[in-house]
Structure 1
Amino acid sequence: MSGRAYRGLSADERQADRRERLISAAYTLYASLGFPGTTIERLCSEARISNRAFYECFSGREELLQVVHDRCVDEALGSMTKSVQEAPDTFLGRIEAGISGYIGFVTQDRRRARIMHLEVRRAGDHPLITSRKRTMSAFCKVIEESPGGRALIPPGVDARLLSLTMLGALQELLIEWLLADEPPATDQLVGTAVHLLRQAYAA
């Protein structure tokens, strides 16, 4: 049973509403105050719910960050996939479009970039490991499904490790964009990543 209706909402609908308000609050507070500086009390105040209601939605701050982070990753990978699908049907064309789509989407909202590339590191290993596996899988899929992708991988180089290298470079470029006193333009980030990609496949 979903319980009695209150103000036109069932118990399940009220629970879903509180959950979404907490996710929205976390999206802003984890990015502005940082994960360590964001208390459950502050999250509840921002979401306008009680501490008890918080624990009816999430087990703690870590689980909430995992949910927010996963949503950011889903949206970023969706944008990357869309860019790849609309790109010229060549290996480098699709890979470059994927990089551009990923960086472009992540940097559209500074909160998103901060949660994905800084705050998740401060919440323990689990969120980072989960995200790393999913993102790695998506990049490997782009390489494997692009025309001639496997054939262009230099001899003796593992495709998965090459994808990991590219992801590491993207991570550092985005952290630089977040933390630098004079952040580089996003087209510089894309250009640098694409240059590294072309060098990796130059052979």
Structure 2
Amino acid sequence: MTAAYTLYAKPGFAATTIERLCSEARISNRAFYECFGGREELLQALHERCVEESLAVVSKAVQDAPNTLDGRIRAGIRAYIEFTTADWRRARIMHVEVRRSGDVLMMSRQRAIDSFAGLVEEAWADFPQAPGVNRRLVALGVIGGLQELLIEWLLADRPPELDELVGVAVHLFLRALTP
């Protein structure tokens, strides 16, 4: 898994063969197949681990935040961005390779988005909303915006500073979540 964590992040999932994974990990192909059905299954396991760790960090930050919408949103976004970007490989697997893998991670990606949308809805639940607004759809929209900000951080020639990412994401979330 350690070898895949690095190789799937760069050169990327599509460019990483099982032979290269096994060589990097110093294991035989047979040993690999005793653990995983293929490189897709390994990518899914890595992605799900990254998501679970991120969810735990964000949940804790939101729970410990001041009991205001602003406090919860700021704490959750800062925790997510700081945790995700603390290791570029994690950010790359969660926001670039998950998309490049095509159908391989479609269900895993949707489960992750669903879990994060649930966190947003939960953080927002005690606060007013504009009439007729579908909380679920708003949560999905702001999560998509946050994902695009992180992709920009990963791929831009001049990546934005983390504080700038946090500020923009907080702005988007609060604009979307307040009546």
Q: Same fold (TM over 0.5)?
A: yes
The one of 20, 37, 53 aligned to 1:59? 37
Q: Which position in structure 1 is the counterpart of 2:142?
A: 166
Contiguous gaps of at least 5 residues in structure 1: 1-22
Give the TM-score normalised by the residue count of structure 1: 0.83
Distance in 2, Cα, partners of 1:88 & 1:158? 25
Distance in 1, Cα, partners of 2:10 & 2:129? 41
| Superposition deviation, residue 132 in structure 1 | 2.7
Deviation per CA, 1:9-48, whole angstroms, max 9, x where unpaired?
xxxxxxxxxxxxxx11000011111111101000000111
Contact 1:73 1:131 in 2 (8 A): no
Q: Which protein has greater RCO, CA pairs closer than 8 Å, 6+ apart?
A: 2
Larger helix share, 1 or 2 = 2
Report whether the alignment pairs 1:94 with 2:79.
Answer: no
Distance in 2, Cα, partners of 1:156 & 1:37? 46
Distance in 2, Cα, partners of 1:121 & 1:179? 14
The one of 3, 16, 22 aligned to 1:38? 16
The one of 26, 48, 53 aligned to 2:26? 48
The higher radius of gyration belongs to 1
Contiguous gaps of at least 5 residues in structure 2: none
Q: Which position in structure 1 is the counterpart of 2:4?
A: 26
Distance in 1, Cα, partners of 2:95 & 2:133? 27
Contact 1:89 1:146 in 2 (8 A): no
Q: Which of 86-95 and 66-75 deviates more?
A: 86-95
Distance in 1, Cα, partners of 2:141 & 2:158? 25
| Superposition deviation, residue 127 in structure 1 | 1.8
* Percent of pairs with identical residues: 59
Contact 1:35 1:119 in 2 (8 A): yes
Deviation per CA, 1:144-176, whole angstroms, max 9, x where unpaired?
355623xx2221111110010011001100000
Deviation per CA, 1:96-124, whole angstroms, max 9, x where unpaired?
21111111100001000000001111223
Contact 2:57 2:79 in 1 (8 A): yes
Q: Which position in structure 1 is the counterpart of 2:51?
A: 73
Root-mean-square deviation (CA), in Å? 1.6
